[in-house]
Structure 1
Amino acid sequence: MRTPDRDRRRLALAALCTALIIALAVPSVGALNATYLVLPNGTSYAASVDIVDASNYMFAETGMLGENIPITVTNVTLVAENSTPVNFNWTLLWSAPAVITFTEGNYTVTYIAPLHDNHLQGNYLSPYNVNVTLPGEYDVRNPLLAGISVGANVTRFPDNSTQVTWNKTMSFDLRFYDQDQENLLYMFAEFIIVLAVILLIPFLLMRKPPE
């Protein structure tokens, strides 16, 4: 059964509030803040990104060749430094990333965006302190399943949620996994071990004892 749209909007707004609280808990250390909260179903995330001296913001991801790939966003808000919501205009062009425009200044942009293949990444034009929070069903501690760009600090909390942070970075890349993926990895490893034993037994039995 699908979750009603009203309930999903409430979940998204609650996630954004949580993301903002986490962002405030991390010191800026001379850089802007970008906070991402992966939502429980793992198919979307809530973002909160600081921007300075800006009059527009593009909703895009960076492709393998450095190109801008459009992303679909919802629940977009723009807040000024005094916590006042600000109006903005949308620019929507066919096959191009959506852009919002507004009066030049310093703001925080928040939005909800889709997430694919347990993979989250970001690129910036200036140094950012990045904070990514994963719910309890996801993890990044197994290097065979996870991928984390250089400079990350990983913290696992008692409720099994995970926080990954980068200080003063121009980009980040994070791939996480769930328990089912880890179980499959262990099953595959056990199969390989059993297969290796089966193949080695005839070889050991055929070896001649030393004279």
Structure 2
Amino acid sequence: MQSTNRDRCHLTCLALCLAALILASPAFAQNATFSINENASSYSASVEITDTDSYQFTKPGYLGEAVPISVREIRVMGVHGEVSYDEQRNSVITFPEGDYLISYEGDLDGNSFSALFKTPYNVTISLPGVYFVDNPLLGYVSQGGSVLVGENQTTILWESTRYAEIRFYDELRLFILSVFGTIWVVFMIILLFGYYSMRAASRRE
């Protein structure tokens, strides 16, 4: 009888431990990968989805809301290969419920990119080596992003985020900023020199 009670106690403890682990462990974040093309006019994307029968292509609006966008080259890949889909209104596609990898291409408006998700995602954005994000006057990386600079590309990573945004620039924009900054400094020096020269002249009088 004692052994039976001990077994029941062990099973109860094991069940409680498993329940605690399940409740305490966060949901695994899915992966989303975006690659900015060389001319910075478009991008390619791959987004994982699970247990769903639809997907909407969106971007963040001015108030943070999801705004439908037009994309192209859509492919829905399942465990057994590519799956056909139906296009609905508001940039929504539907397909049999399951787990998929959705790939597509979209256009960029200016040197910036942003993505909005309903659930946490591990996000990767890849930039060609001719673009940069580190200058705070020209570039921007949203909160939580880690920048890894390589020889031919820059990679920005977020872990478990619902929002990712970057603003990038090239060497030409950096040169223009440097020239503008130099002109502004010279102009300020001339103004200050003229101001102090006038004060010195007035004191001599």
Q: TM-score normalized by structure 2? A: 0.80
Q: Separation in 1 of the partners of 2:57 and 2:119?
A: 17
Report how many residues are paired. Answer: 177
How far 1:65 sits from its partner (Å)?
Answer: 2.8
Could you say which residue in structure 1 is the equivalent of 2:74? Answer: 76
In structure 1, the partner of 2:59 is: 61
Q: How much is the aligned-residue C-alpha RMSD, in angstroms? A: 2.0
What is the one-letter code of the residue matched to 1:120? F
Q: 1:140 to 1:109 in 2, by over 3 A?
A: same
- Structure 1 match to 2:127: 134
Q: Would you say 1:89 and 2:86 are equivalent positions?
A: yes
Work out which of the residue numbers 160, 168, 180 in structure 2 matches 1:188.
Answer: 180
Counterpart of 1:172 (choices 164, 183, 205) is 164
- Superposed CA deviations along residues 142-196 of structure 1, whole A, max 9, x for unmatched, are 011112111110011022x110010010111111111111111111100111001
Structure 2 unmatched runs, 5+: 1-26
Structure with max Cα Rg: 2
Paired AA for residue 52 in structure 1: T
Could you tell me how far 1:83 is from its partner in structure 2?
5.5
Paired with 1:172 and 1:140, the residues of 2 have a C-alpha distance of: 14
Cα distance in structure 2, aligned partners of 1:162 and 1:70 = 28
CA–CA distance in structure 2, aligned partners of residues 30 and 70 of structure 1? 26
Partner of 1:114: 107
Q: Which runs of 5+ in 1 are unaligned?
A: 1-28
Aligned equivalents of 2:116 and 2:171: distance in 1? 29
* Stretches of 4+ aligned residues off by more than 3 angstroms: 206-210
Task: State, as a whole percentage, how many aligned pairs show the same letter.
Answer: 36
